[in-house]
């Protein structure tokens, strides 16, 4: 264990199956604004601190990444700190929820998604339900995926202070504050500190391991939006291709192409289950479909050359980066080749760009909220690609493969990434992990990566989805047991009924079918190839 406190020797342990739980604590302080001293944070000035008891707080949340959904009714001390970095003209909020009873002796920080740095109401309840003291921050801006309210200064220049708050500074500030508040409330510091989040939150987790290696004992950084300066502009590639072709296929045609890719490549892993589990082996060319017919809302239609090109380019990605895998949904609210039409069968359609990508291009690259993205061509797009890297790589890409300081501090980290991620290409994560291994051949001693067949962006698909990876990280930190596999559960996407279980293997190993019922774990082994 990396961080030791004298109080730990006074604790007794209770058996809990997967991971031991510290004997629950009760608050030793009152939940009032006057009871909390202002935490000391380098470079920060606290403006206000408010604390109040919250009883019978109810919330109903869908499952997201490693956190189960459910209905929650909770009692906690809600502490909100508002602070600034003098001369930066920023205002940042930090939210910390402290269980009024049954604190498990642990602290957790959580992140956000897209341009949202954090959201207490959305992410805190499941962690609080497990007894964590939990903290998140708004990073100094309103929590939406539209950065127009903060990206630029009043004179139209990039607000680098707020960008750095979002990228890394506010994350560390919040962690210092949250731990201090927990210590003040319970009369002792947390015995273990964790971080867990997905997407942009996954990027935040890796950011902390790279920039602030002593902040956490264990990090769960899922589907991470690292390589930000590269992949964010790469997300616009399918829309650029459509604009250059002047064609916007109907969603039903793009969906039919995805279905054809799955049909062609499903059994490359030896199992027919509606999942492309071996995307690197999938060589399906959608142009072979041109002229064939498909069903679009009960009406027969023919595959077009343009739609085939758009699908293939979405899978390939721009020359500078990766695309999504074949079989990944091409349409949907976060899908990169999304379109919308006047009606399901209408050919009067237009492209629907991913808001995070368009905000990045318009505001951080062009510095023009009214920039017409359709004015881009391949040449000007390529120039913006290089500008994005040159201007922002060092601030927000958070892809430094040197984790030696995190390793020296005793930290442990796990990343998983769905192979059907529609918005963040999973090959970006495997590419980063290989760079980590190139830097340190023993990196698996403190950092492990898993690929998930049939999993979408931060949420289950038809494939095995990890069941409580956080407990695996906790066991690694607290008991020294490293996770060789994750526990995957296959559920009906509508009813939630469990259809099967499977062990998910540490990359680059894959789940090889060896015979038997494909819903049973024993039918698969971890192997170097299918």
3-state per-residue secondary structure call for 50-105: EEEEEEEEEEEECCECCECCEEEEEEEEEEEEEEECCCCCCCEEEEEEEECCCECC
Cα–Cα distances (Å) from 126 to 120, 139, 425, 514, in that order, read: 11, 21, 27, 37
Say whether 457 is catalytic. yes
How far apart are the C-alpha atoms of 328 and 463, rounded to whole Å?
A: 12
Which residue range is the domain that position 473 belongs to?
Answer: 193-226+398-530
Instruction: Using alpha carbons only, give the angle 321, 353, 304 rounded to the nearest 5 degrees.
Output: 80
In this model, does residue 526 exceed pLDDT 90? yes
Selecting among 90, 215, 273, 421, the annotated active-site residue is 421
Selecting among 136, 193, 197, 199, the annotated active-site residue is 199
The pair of three-digit structure tokens given for residue 45, joined into one six-digit string: 């000035």
In this model, does residue 178 exceed pLDDT 60? yes
pTM score of the predicted model: 0.94
Shared domain for 201 and 277, answered yes or no, is no
**Run of H or E including 355:** helix 355-359
In this model, does residue 105 exceed pLDDT 60? yes
Tally of domains within the chain: 3
Looking at residue 22, its pLDDT comes to 56
In a domain, 346, yes or no: yes
- CATH code of the domain in which 492 resides: 3.40.50
Among the candidates 296, 317, 352, a domain finishes at 352
Shared domain for 402 and 320, answered yes or no, is no
3 state SS of 248: coil
Percent with pLDDT over 70 in the chain: 95
Looking at residue 2, its pLDDT comes to 40
Mean pLDDT of the chain: 93
Looking at residue 26, its pLDDT comes to 66
In a domain, 379, yes or no: no
Dihedral over Cα of 297, 302, 307, 312: its sign: positive
Looking at residue 92, its pLDDT comes to 98
Say whether 335 is catalytic. no
In this model, does residue 416 exceed pLDDT 90? yes
Shared domain for 154 and 215, answered yes or no, is no
In this model, does residue 15 exceed pLDDT 90? no
The 10s digit of each residue's pLDDT in 347-360 is 899 999 999 999 99
Phi-psi region of 218 (alpha: psi -120 to 50; beta: other; left: phi over 0): beta
How far apart are the C-alpha atoms of 103 and 105, rounded to whole Å?
A: 6
Instruction: Say if CB 431 and CB 259 are below 8 A apart.
Output: no
The 10s digit of each residue's pLDDT in 297-345 is 899 999 999 999 999 999 999 998 999 999 999 999 899 999 999 998 8
Percent with pLDDT over 90 in the chain: 89
Say whether 517 is catalytic. no
The 10s digit of each residue's pLDDT in 424-460 is 999 999 999 999 999 999 999 999 999 999 999 999 9
Closest CA to 39 of 195, 200, 173: 173
Looking at residue 23, its pLDDT comes to 58
């Amino acid at each position: 264990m990396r961080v030791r406190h004298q109080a730990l020797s006074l604790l007794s342990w209770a058996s809990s199956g997967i991971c031991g739980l510290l004997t629950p604590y009760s608050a030793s302080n009152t939940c009032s604004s006057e009871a909390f001293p202002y935490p000391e944070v380098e470079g920060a000035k606290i403006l206000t601190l408010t604390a109040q008891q919250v009883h019978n707080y109810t919330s109903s949340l869908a499952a997201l990444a490693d956190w189960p959904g459910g209905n929650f009714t909770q009692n906690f001390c809600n502490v909100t700190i508002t602070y600034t970095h003098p001369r930066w003209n920023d205002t940042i909020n930090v939210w910390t929820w402290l269980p009024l009873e049954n604190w498990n002796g642990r602290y957790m920080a959580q992140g956000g998604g897209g341009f949202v740095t954090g959201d207490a109401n959305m992410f805190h309840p499941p962690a609080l339900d497990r007894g964590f003291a939990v903290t998140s921050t708004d990073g100094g801006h309103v929590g939406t995926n539209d950065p127009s309210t903060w990206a630029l200064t009043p004179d139209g220049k990039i607000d680098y202070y707020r960008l750095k708050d979002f990228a890394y500074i506010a994350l560390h500030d919040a962690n210092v504050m949250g731990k201090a508040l927990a210590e003040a409330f319970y009369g002792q510091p947390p015995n273990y500190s964790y971080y867990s989040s997905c997407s942009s939150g996954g990027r935040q987790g890796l950011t902390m391991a790279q920039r602030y290696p002593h902040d956490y004992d264990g990090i769960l950084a899922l589907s991470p939006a690292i390589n930000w300066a590269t992949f964010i502009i790469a997300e616009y590639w399918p829309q650029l291709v459509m604009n250059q072709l002047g064609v916007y296929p109907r969603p039903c045609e793009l969906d039919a192409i995805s279905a054809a890719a799955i049909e062609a490549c499903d059994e490359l892993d030896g199992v027919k289950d509606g999942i492309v589990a071996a995307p690197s082996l999938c060589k399906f060319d959608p142009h072979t479909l041109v002229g064939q017919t498909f069903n679009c809302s009960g009406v027969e239609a023919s595959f077009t050359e343009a739609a085939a090109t758009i699908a293939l380019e979405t899978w390939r990605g721009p020359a500078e980066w990766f695309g999504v895998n074949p079989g990944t949904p091409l349409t949907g609210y976060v899908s990169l080749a999304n379109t919308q039409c006047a009606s399901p069968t209408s050919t009067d359609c237009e492209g629907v760009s991913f808001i995070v990508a368009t905000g990045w291009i318009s505001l951080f690259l062009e510095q023009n909220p009214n920039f017409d993205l359709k004015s881009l061509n391949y040449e000007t797009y390529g120039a913006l690609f290089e500008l994005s890297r040159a201007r922002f790589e060092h601030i927000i890409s958070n892809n430094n493969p040197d984790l030696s300081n995190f390793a020296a501090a005793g930290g442990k980290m796990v990343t998983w990434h769905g192979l059907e991620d529609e918005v963040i290409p999973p090959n970006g994560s495997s590419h980063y992990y290989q760079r980590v291994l190139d830097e340190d051949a023993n990196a698996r001693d403190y950092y492990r990566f898993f690929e998930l067949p049939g999993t979408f962006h931060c949420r289950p698909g038809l494939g095995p989805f990890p069941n409580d990876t956080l407990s695996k990280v906790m066991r690694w930190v607290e008991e020294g047991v490293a996770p060789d596999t994750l526990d995957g559960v296959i559920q009906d996407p509508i009813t939630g009924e469990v259809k099967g279980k499977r062990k998910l293997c540490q990359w680059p190993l894959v789940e090889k079918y060896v015979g038997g019922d494909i819903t049973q774990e024993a039918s698969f082994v971890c192997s170097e190839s299918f």
